[in-house]
Structure 1
């Protein structure tokens, strides 16, 4: 009997950490002094694009100026709250109990337990207040540029000046944001907001710098959604990583799998028939392809089209003789999410072993860029 009790106790002790982890959650207890009973309040988790189909959404009603949410989580996460149709802002919530009061905005939110995440995020925003102004300046100049470019009377010089002003504002904003994130992480490596703010700079920071900063963050702070997706991007989409495999149907309904093309250099090209810059890039790709296709190179086009006939018509008109696939779900194509494509045309160059060796090669430079690789593989053969 003693041995049985001892054995059961041992099993419980072994399983206890697993059970504790599985039961981890974020509990939000909120106070809304101005809200009437029955007012609907909604919460939505902020997540990277690839995970949008799995994000947490929930709603409840306010009673006695109070509300509560219980959300499974393994680390601090960022959420947006909405009362009826009014957005009241975003807040970092930690695993454990979080008490939040909503007066006019979440700038007055506070946490009575594990408050470090939201306090850090508020401090980060306050310390880098200039970033808000720089972002606002860029977005305003972008609006001016778009409005002018779509106007009836467009002067080429004026349009060029507005475009230049917009681009300069963008560069200034992103450079300042990159410097702010780098400075924050180096000075506060253990801050629980680090994985989120670093993730937000992935597309504007050299990959080696991202990896260096990611290594500074201790493993104890790599438990939330942003940390996991940061790891996915580094392990799967950075130069030297093995490109994520996928399969989609071509125009004949035949499944084409990326890994079936191993042994060749593959340009994974994201485009769409409705995309004017993509169609222009196709001209250069069509010109380069005959020189390369019999020398260990091919192209796999992934279309973000919605309509089958439009997609097929574009392939025929542009004379795209390489592999072309699509699920005809437009921007909801899971391959687009898996490769974090935010604009098209976009591409990845993949070597015969399936490793990513280059990204977003200009179509008119493809031959010059791929030629040394092709010479290498042909010399081996």
Structure 2
């Protein structure tokens, strides 16, 4: 009986050990030249870096280790040098020059190989978008409004093409973690119904992996703040430190919740339009509360003053970890929500003439 007990105990220990080893990964870097700083293997969690392993060795062979359940996107960071790698259990190698780790070659990760293959299939679109974005930045620099408008349309068309290819890939490869990752990183381009449909199409075999779980959480949050839903209250401090509850502004006017930040170029470019709409309709029953995703209070206040934003402003100065931003499923800015007098969401993410037309319609 004692021998049987010991035998079973050994089997259990070996089983546990085997399970642990199956989740281990070893990433061997082969670096030509010399890195300027220590290298980190990290991942992102709630908008922050989480370091998994690191090395002070800056040249030659560098070995980084860790444990992982399912394939996941990790990042190699050394100073300003940054690249991403899909890590999975097993032995992986990464070869690069110290000056350009973003151009490194990965072997041993099937997930990374799959992602590389997809990226290669849309490389022409990516190159065209890079060219258009460079032209757009130059047009903004020169304040060429006609060119800015034309390039914006071209960028939207090309980006829609890229997104369509991504969606097609996800439908055709519904057992792939890479598909779930691609949809997760593009979810802010998708309408709620479409995002729900794509996510529901993923095979049960990946339903409990990180990126599908993130998508399901995102969808749940989006339904809570979809058009027709009641507002979710929050309380944040204004620029002087006084708390303002969203509920205190509801009852008489239509209310625009404007999520923005001083560092957000598209937000700042949209501000003159919002100011004009506010000036025209504030006395007729329209109000605004600005929710900043800034982290620097001085920059936030300076932007309010420079852009002449005379309505209420609040922030917890937590950037992408903004409590209000999370409640309203904000993962890109500018982002806006319009509430009626009863606190019901009646519109979202309207800009330019669409915003003006909607406010005019609501107050007519």
Matches of 1:319 and 1:81 in 2, distance apart? 44
CA contact (8 A) 1:304 1:333 kept: yes
SS at match of 2:84: strand
Q: Which residue number in structure 1 is paired with residue 258 of structure 2?
A: 269
CA contact (8 A) 2:71 2:87 kept: yes
Matches of 2:163 and 2:262 in 1, distance apart? 35
Structure 1 residues 119, 251: closer, same or farther in 2, change over 3 A?
Answer: closer
Quick check: 1:110 aligned with 2:107? yes
Q: CA deviation at 1:332?
A: 7.1
Q: Which residue number in structure 2 is paired with residue 91 of structure 1?
A: 85
- C-alpha distance after superposition, 1:284-324 (max 9, x if no partner): 1243233336xxxx643324562376478679x6553xx54
Matches within 5 A, 1:20-39: 27-32=25-30, 34=32
Quick check: 1:301 aligned with 2:293? no
SS at match of 1:193: helix
Q: CA deviation at 1:85?
A: 5.7
Matches of 1:243 and 1:197 in 2, distance apart? 30
Q: Which residue number in structure 2 is paired with residue 288 of structure 1?
A: 281
CA contact (8 A) 2:177 2:211 kept: no
2:359 to 363, 367, 372: 367
CA contact (8 A) 1:273 1:279 kept: no
Q: CA deviation at 1:351?
A: 6.0
CA contact (8 A) 1:75 1:224 kept: yes
CA contact (8 A) 2:174 2:203 kept: yes
CA contact (8 A) 1:192 1:221 kept: yes
- C-alpha distance after superposition, 1:182-211 (max 9, x if no partner): 221121110111122112322333332222
CA RMSD, 1 decimal: 4.4
Q: Which residue number in structure 1 is paired with residue 131 of structure 2?
A: 137
Structure 1 residues 217, 369: closer, same or farther in 2, change over 3 A?
Answer: farther
Quick check: 1:325 aligned with 2:317? no
Aligned residues: 335
CA contact (8 A) 1:28 1:97 kept: yes
Q: Which residue number in structure 2 is paired with residue 247 of structure 1?
A: 235
SS at match of 1:68: strand
Quick check: 1:119 aligned with 2:113? yes
Q: CA deviation at 1:272?
A: 6.2
Quick check: 1:69 aligned with 2:52? no
Matches of 1:37 and 1:165 in 2, distance apart? 42
Query: Is there any run of 5+ residues in structure 1 with no aligned partner, and where?
Result: 373-381
- C-alpha distance after superposition, 1:308-349 (max 9, x if no partner): 76478679x6553xx5423356777554466435444x3112
Q: CA deviation at 1:231?
A: 2.5
SS at match of 1:327: coil
CA contact (8 A) 1:92 1:117 kept: yes
Q: TM-score, normalised by structure 1?
A: 0.69
Q: CA deviation at 1:176?
A: 1.7
Query: Is there any run of 5+ residues in structure 2 with no aligned partner, and where?
Result: none
Q: TM-score, normalised by structure 2?
A: 0.72
Quick check: 1:208 aligned with 2:177? no
Q: Which residue number in structure 2 is paired with residue 163 of structure 1?
A: 148
SS at match of 2:176: coil
